[in-house]
């Protein structure tokens, strides 16, 4: 059963008015810095896309998209987006974005199958971004460079918060630590993937876990990824597969590993075919997005999403998502930590 978790002796540092002011500060500051750091221009994104085009993100492949019929299109069904992973790549092509530049947007989604609690809501808000790259940049060193650039934006945002609200103390390390999901499995062979993240992130405070989507050495995936955006099969480093990953911070309020961003180098034609075959989804090659990628009309790219409410929750030491409003009795299921 889903519930909200309230740490023992938790007291909010900021009141509601301060929190609203702080959200505006972070959103204005962070997106401006992210844009400058990665050379991104802002674009306007759709709230829904047509079903059957392959444009919507199907996340782990089991989540149901909220959908509705469109009267003036003979009741063709539209789906509220889960994320804009594929739409952004189409937009890079349609806008003629040059190599080394990209786009970002405010992504607002509804995910009806989320397990509601401190970290998940029916409503998702994030900065979705995508940048054009060259073939020679499809490597782990380039991925790490981009991750470090994004993390530098986190550090600057943390400084802004501490300057604006001195009662909030900085806690992020100066550098982020990288580890592959397979290395993490070998380090903690008796723990599941989430507990591995918790143990490692507790030690290093800010980590990027590489290679999420494909089976690890024990045949189990660290976590699920759709087969048609991130490249999680290309051999990258130390003989390990994956050009994608999650950026995770240690949350001192909830005392857990706290994912704030998922990102990766996107599939090229070879990786797309390989991953669709692995997942038994070659039929997707008949969809609009996949046809365009297969025919070579989409640029190579890197991209991801950064949770807006999650960043605000982390930097303002909140125990739940700052956008959260109790729904469907969830507020009746609050529990308090025992430790």
Return the active site residues: 57, 111, 126, 246, 259, 262
Secondary structure, 3-state, the chain? CCCCEECCCCCCCCCHHHHHHHHHHHHHHHHHHHHHHHCEEECCCCCEEECCCCCCCCCCCCCCCCEEEEHHHCCEEEEECCCCHHHHHHHHHHCCCCCCCEEEEEEEEECCCCCCCCCCCCEEEEEEEEEECCHHHCCHHHHHHHHHHHHHHHHHHHHHHHHHCCCCCCCCCCCCEEEEHHHHHHHCCCCCHHHHHHHHHHHHCEEEEECCCCECCCCCECCCCCCCCECCCCEEECCEECCEEEEEEEECCCCEEEEEEEEEEECCHHHHHHHHHHCCCHHHHHCHHHHHHHHCCCCCEEEEEEEHHHHHHHHCCCCCCCCCCCCCCHHHHCEECCC
Q: Which of 199, 198, 160, 200 lies closest to 178, judged by CA?
A: 200
Distance of alpha carbon 328 from alpha carbon 326, whole angstroms: 7
Q: Which of 316, 266, 302, 304 lies closest to 107, judged by CA?
A: 304
């Amino acid at each position: 059963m889903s519930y909200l978790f309230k740490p023992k002796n938790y007291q909010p540092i900021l009141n509601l008015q301060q929190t609203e002011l702080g959200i505006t500060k972070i959103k204005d500051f962070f997106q401006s810095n992210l844009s400058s750091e990665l050379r991104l221009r802002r674009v306007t994104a759709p709230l829904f896309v047509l079903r059957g085009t392959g444009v919507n993100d199907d996340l782990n492949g089991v989540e149901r998209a909220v959908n509705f019929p469109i009267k003036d299109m003979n009741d063709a069904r539209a789906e509220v987006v889960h994320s804009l992973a594929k739409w952004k790549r189409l937009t890079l092509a349609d806008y003629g974005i040059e190599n080394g530049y990209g786009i970002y947007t405010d992504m607002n989604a509804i995910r009806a199958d989320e397990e509601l609690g401190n970290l998940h809501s029916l409503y998702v808000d994030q900065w979705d971004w995508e940048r054009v790259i060259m073939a020679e940049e499809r490597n782990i060193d380039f991925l790490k460079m981009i991750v470090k650039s994004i993390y530098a934006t986190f550090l600057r945002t943390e400084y802004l918060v501490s300057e604006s609200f001195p009662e909030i103390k900085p806690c992020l390390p100066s550098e982020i630590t990288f580890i592959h999901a397979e290395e993490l499995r070998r380090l903690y062979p008796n723990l599941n993937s989430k507990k591995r993240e918790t143990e490692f992130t507790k030690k290093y405070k800010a980590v990027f876990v590489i290679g999420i989507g494909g089976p690890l050495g024990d045949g189990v995936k660290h976590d699920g990824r759709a087969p048609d955006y991130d490249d999680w099969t290309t051999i990258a480093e130390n003989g390990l597969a994956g050009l994608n990953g999650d950026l995770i911070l240690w949350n001192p309020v909830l005392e857990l590993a706290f994912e704030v961003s998922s990102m990766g180098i996107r599939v090229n034609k070879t990786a797309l075919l390989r991953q669709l075959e692995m997942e038994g989804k070659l039929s997707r090659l008949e969809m609009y997005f996949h046809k365009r990628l297969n025919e070579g009309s989409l640029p190579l790219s890197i991209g991801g999403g950064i949770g807006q409410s999650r960043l605000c929750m982390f930097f303002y030491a909140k125990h739940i998502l700052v956008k959260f409003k109790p729904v469907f009795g969830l507020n009746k299921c609050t529990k308090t930590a025992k430790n």
